[in-house]
Every structure is written in structure tokens, then in C-alpha cells.
Amino acid sequence: MNPTNRRVTNIGILLLGVLVALVAIASVSSAAMSPVIGFSMVAAYLALAFFLYKRADLGALADTVLRTKTTFAASARMSGNARRAAARAKSHPDSGYGSEVALLDVGMLVNERRQDGGWDRRIAQAAALDEGFLQPYIKIFVPASAAERHATLTFEFYDRSGRLQFSHSMEDYLRTGENLILCERQLALRGAEQQMRAGTWDLRVKVDGVLVGLHDFSMSSTRGERPTERAAERPAPPTRLSHAHDEDDYEEAPPVSLEDLLREQARRRSS
């Protein structure tokens, strides 16, 4: 029972109690009504009040049990990254205490633009400053009580020195159950005008201003040349604008099926 309905019920029971009390008093002081009727009405009133409050308590208990069961089911599907990121978020000042959204996975894509204009993409556990673009994503579980609504999601990258290198807020529609959300913008790494420090970086993800994930990953200064790639064949560095935190500073990411990439990653791990 929600607070509004509970208040209405309380007022109704109180008014009915006053009426029953007046009738009971009248039955005792007047010969026109038997006292047995008055006491029977009082007993019936008390039974009704007990039933209503007991039903409200049982309903609240059932809701609590259902939420707990749903939370445990969601936690069983959490990735290792999500488990660590959620634990770190809880110890942060912007902690998500009380948030009904559960983090199931968090990570990033490394996107490279090919010379033919196409894109090479991979899900990465680490990145390097001489790579192309970095694009974050999350998977969250949303219970029915917090779903079927629009929410504001904020993705932020902080470098080793704690400097904010990327921040983008976007609106998305949260549905009941699992929601896989890819940030619509990406951070240019190679050729960036703002200085970036290699080391341990943080990816912070907020839902409606509440921090739900704090994921750390390794950012190296160089990835080294791969056997199939020569330095002369790498695409030209991306152009960055001068204001590092303006929304237009982050290139809009190309369309991609994140579900397909995650399935391919799972297939490779199992093979």
C-alpha cells in the first residue's frame, strides 16, 4: 500500500471509529438500543481495522520479498567488472544508496576508423593513448517499480591525474529487465589536444545523477604495432576542438550492434 492510500485508509478508519463510538455510547445511555448491538459494532470495527492494517503489512512484506528476490537474481548475472564497479561506487560520495537500478556489466569499445571509411570495433579491457576512440557502455537491470520511464545517463572518463577527459549525458528509455546502453558519443584518444596521462583511468556511470558504477581500467601510452598493421597504414589522427569539455568536442559514434559484439566476445572466450 502506497503512502497516499495508507493515509486515506487511516482517515476512513478514524471517522468510522468516531461514529461507532458514538453509537456505542448511545446504546449504553439510551433504552432505545440494546447495549449488545453497540458492543457488537465495536467488536466488528476492531476486527475490520485489524484486517485492513494486517493486509497492508502483508502487502508491504510481499513487496519487500519480491524486491529482494529480484535483486538476488540480478546480482547472479553481474559480470566481474560490474561487481567491482558497483562496490567501488558504493564507497564514493555520489554513491547510489537506495537506487533500484542494478549494474550488470560495464565496459568500453575501442573504435578505429579504417582508410576506406569503415570502422573496426572491439570490446576492450584496456586501451592506449595512440588508439582511435573510446566509447563506454553499460548493462543495467531495472525492476518494474523503476522502469517504463525516461532517465538521464551520464558517462565520464577520468585519467590517472583525476582530470575529467570526457563527459556526456544522454536520455534513454528504461524498460523492465535488462537494458544494454551504449554511449552515443566517443572520446578521441590519438591526436587529442588536451593532455592525457597514462595509467589507471576511471569510467563513472550515473543514472539520474546517482553513481551506479565506478570502473577502473588500464590506459597505456602506446599499444605497440600489431603484426598486421604498420605505422604508415594507421588512419590520420582525429581532429579535436580546443575546449576539451564542450559537448561538440566528442565525436558522435557510428552505429554499432553492441549485442553482436558481446555475443562474439563470449563465443571467442568459450572456444
Q: Who's near 116: CB < 8 A, 6+ residues apart? A: none
**How many whole angstroms separate alpha carbon 27 and alpha carbon 21?**
10
Q: Does residue 250 share a domain with residue 152?
A: yes
Q: Residue 3: how many CB atoms within 10 A of its CB?
A: 7
**33 with 92, same domain?**
no
Residue 120: its H or E element: strand 119-124
Same domain, 57 and 132: no
Do 60 and 103 lie in a common domain? Answer: no
Q: Mark which of 21, 51, 75 sits at the end of a domain.
A: 75
Say how many domains are in the chain: 2
Shared domain check, 139 and 86: yes
**Same domain flag for 140 and 265:** yes
Residues 107 and 35 in one domain: no
CATH of the domain at 226: 2.60.40.1930
From CA 217, how far away is CA 15, in angstroms rounded?
A: 62
Domain span holding position 37: 3-75
d(CA 123, CA 82): 15
What pLDDT, on a 0 to 100 scale, did the predictor assign at position 93?
Answer: 82
Tens digits of per-residue pLDDT, 209-264? Answer: 999 999 999 999 987 643 334 333 444 444 343 334 444 446 676 666 777 777 76
At 136, which helix (H) or strand (E)? strand 133-142
pLDDT in tens, 87-129: 999 998 877 566 789 999 999 999 999 999 889 999 999 999 9
CA angle 56, 60, 66 (to 5 degrees): 145
Query: Which carries the bigger pLDDT value, residue 45 or residue 5?
Result: 45
Shared-domain flag, residues 48 and 166: no
To the nearest whole number, what is the mean pLDDT of the chain? Answer: 77
- 186 pLDDT above the threshold of 80: yes
Tell whether the model's pLDDT for residue 8 goes beyond 50.
Answer: yes
Whether residue 46 sits in one domain with residue 110 = no
